[in-house]
Amino acid sequence: MTDDLEPLSPEAGVERFLTHREPSVRESTLNNAKTRLRYFLDWCDERDIEDLNTLSGRDIADFVAWRRGDIAPITLQKQLSTIRQALRWWADIDAVEEGLGEKVHAPELPDGAESKDVHLNPERAKAALDYYGRHRYASRDHALIALIWRTGMRRGAVHSLDVDDLLPEDHAVRVEHRIEEGTKLKNGEAGERWVYLGPKWFQILDDYLDNPDRVQGTDEFGRKPLFTTEDGGRPSPQTIYKWVMRALHPCSYASCPHDRTPETCEARSRTSNPAACPSSRSPHAVRRGAITHHLIQDTPPETVSERMDVSLDVLYQHYDARTEREKMDVRTDHLPQE
């Protein structure tokens, strides 16, 4: 607690935050926030926290652990998003220390934990890729979205890629588990594979390497990351998450469907929460959309399973977002004509 903070009880803080949010969000959004913050108030009451000034990063970690035992991972992520927004606003009014909201760390979702309905559909993928191809060709965002859409890679796999993993003669990319050199794959060595891109898609990544805006560099292990931060380092999986979310905000490549402006949108500033956009899509949603797109295009499930490093059981249960009509159409192509 610093001398610059002004005392504010949790109850008063929640009431102020909801009053602040009310004019700018839908009633359903406000009701969801009320419900999520009610659990935060219960926790404060249980811990005898009477002043938001006293909250620390350790307290926030304790709250996350407290909620994690009662709800599903995807529900926890949604609840913590609201808590993060509240903490940022409370920091603005000198009720909590600056930066406390950034200490809200949601646990990683298990494979397929999100709803199958949350995926990037082919129309949006094409619209985004067409825009980046015309106006920001071979930019970081163009290369990143193209790679995940074409291959369905997890962000952890994207995080692990080096420049040397591009295979020009094969128009492919190599994915390796290098846990002793700072990167790992979800399924360890079993997830290692070569993934075919094809000439058009490979060229985007190859041209990205020559983009003057791309900062060349090495990580602490002397490896050259494929995607780099502004200082040339390897971006964390969380950074990749934010890059993808922002790149797929509709207003990044089209017009905003939510009647917002960049100046007022809570999803657009550098310090904002990219997930605050109702149309945002995470890397996992892009992966799910890519898997579904492959299946709709009649790619054999066994091929998708190996290409995307996902078991057939998990693929069908958590990733296959095809409608029943789309599934029937694919099966029909393989039926005897008579």
109 found inside a domain: no
CA 199 to chain centre: 27
Last residue of a domain, one of 75, 103, 131: 103
- Together in a domain, 58 and 181: no
Q: What pLDDT was estimated at residue 163?
A: 98
Q: What pLDDT was estimated at residue 269?
A: 66
Residue 99, CA distances (Å) to 84, 87, 271 in order: 10, 8, 10
Last residue of a domain, one of 238, 263, 283: 283
- Together in a domain, 23 and 146: no
Residue 48, CA distances (Å) to 9, 51, 52, 55, 68 in order: 11, 9, 11, 12, 20
Range of the domain at 263: 122-283
CB atoms within 10 A of CB 44: 21
325 found inside a domain: no
* Mean pLDDT lowest among 15-19, 136-140, 146-150, 273-277: 273-277
337 found inside a domain: no
- Together in a domain, 59 and 205: no
Smallest CA-to-CA distance from 159 within 187, 184, 191 is with 184
* Mean pLDDT lowest among 26-40, 265-279, 288-302: 265-279
Residue 193, SS3?
strand
Cα 195 to Cα 204: distance, rounded to the nearest angstrom: 15
Amino acid letter, residue 225: P
Q: What is the DSSP string of 145-175?
A: HHHHHHH---HHHHHH-BGGGEEGGGTEEEE
What rounded mean pLDDT belongs to the chain?
Answer: 88
Domain of 268, CATH number, reads 1.10.443
CB 63 within 8 A of CB 43: yes
Domain of 65, CATH number, reads 1.10.150.130
pLDDT, tens digit (0-9, with 9 covering 90-100), for 225-266: 999 999 999 999 889 988 999 999 999 888 888 888 877 787
Amino acid letter, residue 82: T
Q: Dihedral of CA 169/172/176/182: which sign?
A: positive
- Together in a domain, 268 and 215: yes
Q: What is the pTM of this model?
A: 0.66
The alpha helices in 108-249, defined as continuous H runs, are: 122-135, 140-151, 155-160, 199-209, 237-247
Smallest CA-to-CA distance from 284 within 108, 161, 142, 163 is with 108
Count of domains observed in the chain? 2
- Together in a domain, 76 and 167: no
137 found inside a domain: yes
- Together in a domain, 80 and 127: no
- Together in a domain, 86 and 168: no
- Together in a domain, 138 and 266: yes
Residue 299, CA distances (Å) to 17, 111, 129 in order: 49, 21, 21
Asked whether residue 333 carries a pLDDT value surpassing 90, the answer given is: no
Torsion angle (degrees, nearest 10) of CA 248, 283, 70, 56:
-70
- Together in a domain, 78 and 152: no
Cα 72 to Cα 94: distance, rounded to the nearest angstrom: 33
- Together in a domain, 80 and 142: no
Q: What pLDDT was estimated at residue 1?
A: 45
Last residue of a domain, one of 239, 261, 283: 283
47 found inside a domain: yes
27 found inside a domain: yes
Q: What pLDDT was estimated at residue 69?
A: 64
CB atoms within 10 A of CB 221: 12
- Together in a domain, 153 and 93: no
The percentage of residues in the chain with a pLDDT greater than 90, rounded to a whole number, is 55
328 found inside a domain: no
316 found inside a domain: no
Cα 283 to Cα 145: distance, rounded to the nearest angstrom: 9
Smallest CA-to-CA distance from 243 within 256, 226, 259 is with 226
CB 191 within 8 A of CB 185: yes
Asked whether residue 286 carries a pLDDT value surpassing 60, the answer given is: yes
- Together in a domain, 50 and 193: no
CB atoms within 10 A of CB 328: 10
